[in-house]
């Protein structure tokens, strides 16, 4: 669709207002998102769409949008640009969307905002060789005045065309960007991916989970320097690989996160970090983690690759299967403990494996319970990317309680075995850990039911003072029993 200026005989037409779709009106690149969505929904179709590139970007994006259509209502819009667009429309100015994307995207965004007079395609074949977007706009609208908001070398700028008495083809002099101060005064900003934002993306706050790698060293009292060094390297390796998986998971769950009341603030879902930047970070983190694992030992590397295989399967498939997802989560936690045992060559008892599996199964069930509770409180429907319903919450709570207290039973049986007497000089002290564990598990369950837990239960435990105190007391009991 092309835009045309209409002129009245009694007064000039209002100055057109043009806004770029990618990285201006929205904090994202829709083509990149569509390709990722298509890879998740229909991998083969997404790869076949690459063949359309031979016919141009427009054909590619139209083919891609058929299988990887992005929901225009969930896109991360730049509120200040949307408000500027609303003001322009209220002033009676014709508002146009400049899009390098296919017609499907432009129409969807235009219909959602209901502000646009039309859209201008950047891939309709009318662009002349070497012509910039600004040149294209000047050629179409003339140089008697138009406003354009678009991305200029990584920063959002407002461009205004001004009258020029010289050569009309000298568009570099006709169109001038606002100075940074003028742009700031207009409150036209874009979020910057700070170090803190990247830390949120790679989930540094989740690294505490990988501390499970250290459990075999602690329970086996293996404090030799080489064992501690291997344990630390294994911990760092797991953190790097886990971060790469978190990014992949955020990309796969992009639309679901945007529809979630809290997850929509994640860096990729909110547009703070472009999806392409996230994708480029994945091989860097993954390569560093695997390389470090190879230095630790080949057996540890194999366990880490097994963890990577399971967690990748979880991201793309297992997390959509009823109860299989929580079993997989519990297994991933337990794999961390196994990895620590392999890395340090410290034996791990069956008791520890059993205790870990039941405890982490309980926490995984609490995680699902909490997610459903958040949706229920926000008045949202059942999740589309999980095979659970809000009506399942009572059963999930019951299963979490049963699994959690089963872990305490396994711990009690361990204290009654000969194995504990071989490792501790005062094993009877460890019996005091049972009531603390029962109290903590019960408290987590009740707080989840009260909607006082809004995150992963392990992350919650690290922020909760009573949970931290319980951990300190448990650690003191272990030291006293040695």
Predicted local confidence at residue 52, as pLDDT: 65
Predicted local confidence at residue 163, as pLDDT: 45
Predicted local confidence at residue 60, as pLDDT: 65
CA distances to 192, 254, 284, 379 from 195, in Å? 10, 21, 16, 34
> DSSP for 428-462?
GGGGGHHHHHHHHHHHHHHHHHTT---S-HHHHHH
Beta strand spans in 28-171 (E): 95-99, 118-121, 147-152, 155-161
CA distances to 12, 92, 150, 312 from 15, in Å? 9, 9, 17, 52
* Burial environment of residue 163 by CB neighbours within 10 A (0 to 12, 13 to 18, 19 or more): exposed
Q: What's the count of helices (H) and strands (E) in the chain, helices before strands?
A: 22, 6
Q: Which helix (H) or strand (E) holds 176?
A: strand 175-177
Hey, what's the torsion of the CAs at 375, 378, 382, 387, to 10 degrees? -10
Q: What does DSSP assign to residue 97?
A: E
**Structure tokens given for 199:** 């830390």
Predicted local confidence at residue 3, as pLDDT: 41
Could you tell me the pTM of the whole model?
0.72
**Structure tokens given for 61:** 């994006």
Predicted local confidence at residue 59, as pLDDT: 64
| Residue in this structure with the two tokens 């994708």, named with its chain if needed | 279
| Residue in this structure with the two tokens 């100075």, named with its chain if needed | 179
**Structure tokens given for 448:** 């989840």
Alpha-carbon gap, residue 327 to 152, rounded angstroms: 48
Q: For residue 19, list its beta bridge partners.
A: 97, 149
Taking the chain (482 residues) in runs of 10, the rounded mean pLDDT of each run is 40 74 77 73 69 63 64 79 81 80 70 73 58 70 72 56 42 40 46 78 84 80 80 90 89 79 82 84 92 91 91 82 88 87 81 86 91 84 82 92 93 84 80 92 91 79 86 86 80
Which among 103, 96, 29, 98 has a CA at the least distance from the CA of 65? 103
Predicted local confidence at residue 240, as pLDDT: 93
CA distances to 63, 67, 88, 121, 475 from 60, in Å? 5, 12, 33, 14, 59
Alpha-carbon gap, residue 241 to 260, rounded angstroms: 26
Predicted local confidence at residue 236, as pLDDT: 92
Alpha-carbon gap, residue 376 to 393, rounded angstroms: 10
Angle made by CA atoms 381, 384, 387, in degrees to the nearest 5? 100
Beta strand 155-161 pairing with 175-177:
antiparallel
Q: How many CB atoms lie within 10 A of CB 144?
A: 14
11-50 residues labelled b (16+ CB within 10 A) or e (exposed): eeeebbbbbbbbbbbbbbbbbbbbbbbbbbeeeeebeebe
**Structure tokens given for 75:** 């896109």
Predicted local confidence at residue 41, as pLDDT: 66
**Structure tokens given for 209:** 């989970």
Predicted local confidence at residue 382, as pLDDT: 82
User: 301, 294 in Cβ contact below 8 A?
Assistant: yes
| Residue in this structure with the two tokens 């209220």, named with its chain if needed | 90
Q: Which helix (H) or strand (E) holds 474?
A: helix 465-481
Predicted local confidence at residue 278, as pLDDT: 86
Q: For residue 366, list its beta bridge partners.
A: none
User: 265, 198 in Cβ contact below 8 A?
Assistant: no
User: 268, 84 in Cβ contact below 8 A?
Assistant: no
CA distances to 232, 298, 345 from 224, in Å? 12, 21, 12
Predicted local confidence at residue 365, as pLDDT: 93
Alpha-carbon gap, residue 247 to 364, rounded angstroms: 20
């Amino acid at each position: 669709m092309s835009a045309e200026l209409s002129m009245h005989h009694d007064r000039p037409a209002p100055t057109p207002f043009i806004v770029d779709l990618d990285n201006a009106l929205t904090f994202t690149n829709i083509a990149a998102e569509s390709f990722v969505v298509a890879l998740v929904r229909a991998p083969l179709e997404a790869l076949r769409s690459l063949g359309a590139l031979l016919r141009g970007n427009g054909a590619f994006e139209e083919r891609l949008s058929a299988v990887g259509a992005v929901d225009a209502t969930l896109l991360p819009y730049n509120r200040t640009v949307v408000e500027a667009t609303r003001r322009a429309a209220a002033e009676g100015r014709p508002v146009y969307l400049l899009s390098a994307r296919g017609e499907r995207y432009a129409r969807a965004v235009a219909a959602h905002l209901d502000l646009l007079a039309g859209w201008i395609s950047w891939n309709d074949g009318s662009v002349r060789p070497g012509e910039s977007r600004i040149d294209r706009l000047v050629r179409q609208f003339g140089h008697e005045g138009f406003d354009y908001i678009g991305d200029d070398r990584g920063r959002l700028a407002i461009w205004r065309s001004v009258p020029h008495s010289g050569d009309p083809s000298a568009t570099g002099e006709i169109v001038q960007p606002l100075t940074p101060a003028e742009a700031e005064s207009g409150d036209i900003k874009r979020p910057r991916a700070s170090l803190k934002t990247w830390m949120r993306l790679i989930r540094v706050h989740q690294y505490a989970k990988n501390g499970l790698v250290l459990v075999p060293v602690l329970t086996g009292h293996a404090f030799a320097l080489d064992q501690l060094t291997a344990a630390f390297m294994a911990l760092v390796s797991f953190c790097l690989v886990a971060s790469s998986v978190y990014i992949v998971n955020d990309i796969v769950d992009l639309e679901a996160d945007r529809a979630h009341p809290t997850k929509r603030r994640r860096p990729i879902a909110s547009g703070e970090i472009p999806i392409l930047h996230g994708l480029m970070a994945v091989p860097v983190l993954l390569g560093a983690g695997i390389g470090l694992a190879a230095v630790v030992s080949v057996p540890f590397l194999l366990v880490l690759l097994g963890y990577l295989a399971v967690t990748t399967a979880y991201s793309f498939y297992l997390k959509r299967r009823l109860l299989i997802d929580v079993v997989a989560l519990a297994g991933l936690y337990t794999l961390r403990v196994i990895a620590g045992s392999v890395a340090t060559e410290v034996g791990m008892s069956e008791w520890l494996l059993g205790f870990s599996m039941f405890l982490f199964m309980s926490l995984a069930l609490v995680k699902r319970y909490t997610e459903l509770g958040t949706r229920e409180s926000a008045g949202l429907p059942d999740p589309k990317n999980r095979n659970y319903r809000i009506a399942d919450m009572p059963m999930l709570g019951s299963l979490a309680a049963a699994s959690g207290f089963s872990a305490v039973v396994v711990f009690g049986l361990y204290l009654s075995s000969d194995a504990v007497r071989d490792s501790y000089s005062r094993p009877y002290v460890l019996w005091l850990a049972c009531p603390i564990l029962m109290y903590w598990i019960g408290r987590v369950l009740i707080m989840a039911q009260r909607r006082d837990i809004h995150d992963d239960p392990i992350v919650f435990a690290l922020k909760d003072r009573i949970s931290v105190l319980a951990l300190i007391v448990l650690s003191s009991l272990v030291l006293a029993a040695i």
